[in-house]
């Protein structure tokens, strides 16, 4: 690694991960009903207002906990592969691993147990084929959210990290270190591990052997977003990414954060998103996710937009 391009700008870790699915109720039943996450925002895809954008996370939708979805019934089925986040990792408290194994099995979710870097993983796929896994770790604050038979002491704390499936893993690894400011900590079981300084969303594994490209569609991740601490740092990030040879978009207002996007050499779409203002911007903290929230530029089309969206509810699963 050349030292003259080593990053002085460092991300704390993952801000959010965004994926394509087909049905809002099915997705809510899995991410709220099974995994116990909170729906913290019900809005629309600002680039396609006929599609929901659903955000799930901890009680506040803190950066590092947010998994988001674009549910679209007619979406073609994607294929998980190179150029994508392959597996999203959720972190639970150290004593909660067996709770989660038992819960997933009882709810009919097929699990596979695997090990890497000396850690035990419970791997599963969601109803659309998105791959997820649960890992237990000491670091990361306990969740304050309790839902569907999951006490806060067992609840998912946020992302443990992600497994990136790269078509050019050496270049993806170099980007993580030299541009994003992560540190390589080792290799095991066919993965290189990188770590950021945050307490959650901080451990990124990248396949060592190049992977054949996947294809986008339901059941695949669209992009992974990394944290910038505020708007000032976001400007620095944009220059830093551009000066490192990537082509970031202009800064886009995503209502709950500002965003830039760029594609890396391994095919994965990266976003850098600001921690502020967050999800309490337009709803009270106690009522996050309860109403369809629209940015003001779409408010005048609310009636037409609501007609295009399938109604769904956050509900506890039967027989938990
Ligand atoms: Zn995003």
**Please, what's the b/e burial string for 62-90 (b: 16 or more CB within 10 A of its CB; e: otherwise)?**
bbbbbbbbbbbeebeebebbbbbbbbbbb
Alpha carbon of 225 to ligand 1 centroid (Å): 6
Alpha carbon of 243 to ligand 1 centroid (Å): 22
Q: Give mean pLDDT, residues 157-180.
A: 98
Neighbours of ion ligand 1 (CB under 5 A): 18, 225, 271
Alpha carbon of 253 to ligand 1 centroid (Å): 11
Alpha carbon of 73 to ligand 1 centroid (Å): 20
Question: Mind listing the pLDDT tens digit for each residue in 64-78?
Answer: 999 999 999 999 999
CATH of the domain at 253: 3.10.180.10
pLDDT value at residue 318: 75
Domain total in the chain: 1
pLDDT value at residue 7: 55
Alpha carbon of 52 to ligand 1 centroid (Å): 14
Residue 202 lies in a domain: yes
Residue 7 lies in a domain: no
Alpha carbon of 106 to ligand 1 centroid (Å): 32
Predicted confidence band of residue 4 (pLDDT cuts 50, 70, 90): very low
Residue 21 lies in a domain: yes
Question: Mind listing the pLDDT tens digit for each residue in 124-142?
Answer: 999 999 999 999 999 999 9
pLDDT value at residue 260: 98
Alpha carbon of 171 to ligand 1 centroid (Å): 22
Question: Mind listing the pLDDT tens digit for each residue in 262-287?
Answer: 999 999 999 999 999 999 999 999 99
Helix, strand, coil % in the chain, rounded to nearest 5? 20, 35, 45
pLDDT value at residue 320: 60
Alpha carbon of 162 to ligand 1 centroid (Å): 15
Alpha carbon of 269 to ligand 1 centroid (Å): 10
pLDDT value at residue 2: 40
Alpha carbon of 176 to ligand 1 centroid (Å): 18
Does residue 240 carry a pLDDT above 60?
yes
CB neighbour list of residue 212: distance below 8 Å, 6 or more residues apart: 81, 82, 167
Predicted confidence band of residue 319 (pLDDT cuts 50, 70, 90): low
pLDDT value at residue 127: 97
pLDDT value at residue 193: 98
Alpha carbon of 224 to ligand 1 centroid (Å): 7
pLDDT value at residue 1: 41
Q: Give mean pLDDT, residues 256-266.
A: 98
Alpha carbon of 191 to ligand 1 centroid (Å): 25
Alpha carbon of 235 to ligand 1 centroid (Å): 17
Alpha carbon of 165 to ligand 1 centroid (Å): 18
Question: Mind listing the pLDDT tens digit for each residue in 42-59?
Answer: 999 999 999 999 999 999
Average pLDDT across the chain, whole number: 95
Alpha carbon of 18 to ligand 1 centroid (Å): 6
pLDDT value at residue 271: 98
**Residue for token pair 């609840």:** 155
Alpha carbon of 221 to ligand 1 centroid (Å): 11
Q: What is the DSSP letter of 60?
A: T
For residues 142 and 157, give the distance between their C-alpha atoms in angstroms, rounded to a whole number.
Answer: 6
Residue 78 lies in a domain: yes
Alpha carbon of 260 to ligand 1 centroid (Å): 9
Alpha carbon of 84 to ligand 1 centroid (Å): 14
Alpha carbon of 115 to ligand 1 centroid (Å): 29
Predicted confidence band of residue 33 (pLDDT cuts 50, 70, 90): very high
Residue 200, domain extent: 14-308
Residue 5 lies in a domain: no
**Please, what's the b/e burial string for 29-46 (b: 16 or more CB within 10 A of its CB; e: otherwise)?**
bbbbbbbbbbbbbbbbbb
Alpha carbon of 102 to ligand 1 centroid (Å): 32
Question: Mind listing the pLDDT tens digit for each residue in 81-113?
Answer: 999 999 999 999 999 999 999 999 999 999 999
Residue 9 lies in a domain: no
Give CA 155 to chain center in angstroms. Answer: 17
Q: Give mean pLDDT, residues 193-218.
A: 98
Alpha carbon of 16 to ligand 1 centroid (Å): 6
Residue 247 lies in a domain: yes
Q: What is the DSSP letter of 82?
A: B
Alpha carbon of 118 to ligand 1 centroid (Å): 31
Residue 1 lies in a domain: no
Contact yes or no for 166/267 (Cβ under 8 A): yes
pLDDT value at residue 103: 97
């Amino acid at each position: 690694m050349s030292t003259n391009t080593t990053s002085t700008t460092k991300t704390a870790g993952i801000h959010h991960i965004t994926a394509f699915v087909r049905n809002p109720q099915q997705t809510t039943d899995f991410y709220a009903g099974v995994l116990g996450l909170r729906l913290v925002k019900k809005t629309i895809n600002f680039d396609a207002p006929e599609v929901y954008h659903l955000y799930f996370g901890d009680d506040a939708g803190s950066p590092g906990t947010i998994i988001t979805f674009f549910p679209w019934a007619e979406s073609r089925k994607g294929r998980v592969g190179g150029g994508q986040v392959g597996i999203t990792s959720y972190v639970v408290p150290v004593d909660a691993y067996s709770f989660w194994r038992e819960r997933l099995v009882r709810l009919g979710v097929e699990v596979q147990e695997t090990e890497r870097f000396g850690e035990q993983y419970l791997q599963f796929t969601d109803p659309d084929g998105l791959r997820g896994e649960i890992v237990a770790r000491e670091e990361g604050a306990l969740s304050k959210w309790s839902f569907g038979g999951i006490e806060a002491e067992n609840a998912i704390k946020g992302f443990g990290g992600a497994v990136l499936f790269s078509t050019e893993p050496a270049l993806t690894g170099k980007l993580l270190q030299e541009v994003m400011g992560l540190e390589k900590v080792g290799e095991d079981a066919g993965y290189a591990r990188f770590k950021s300084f945050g307490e959650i969303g901080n451990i990124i594994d990248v396949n060592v052997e190049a992977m054949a490209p996947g294809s986008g569609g339901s059941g695949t991740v669209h992009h992974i977003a990394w944290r910038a601490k505020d708007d000032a740092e976001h400007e620095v990030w944009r220059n830093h990414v551009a000066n490192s040879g990537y082509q970031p978009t202009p800064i886009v207002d995503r209502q709950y954060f500002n965003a830039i996007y760029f594609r890396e050499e391994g095919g994965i779409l990266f976003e850098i998103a600001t921690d502020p203002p967050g999800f309490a911007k337009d709803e009270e903290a106690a009522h996050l996710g309860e109403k369809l929230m629209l940015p003001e530029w779409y408010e005048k089309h609310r009636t037409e937009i609501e007609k295009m969206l399938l109604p769904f509810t956050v509900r506890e699963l039967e027989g938990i």
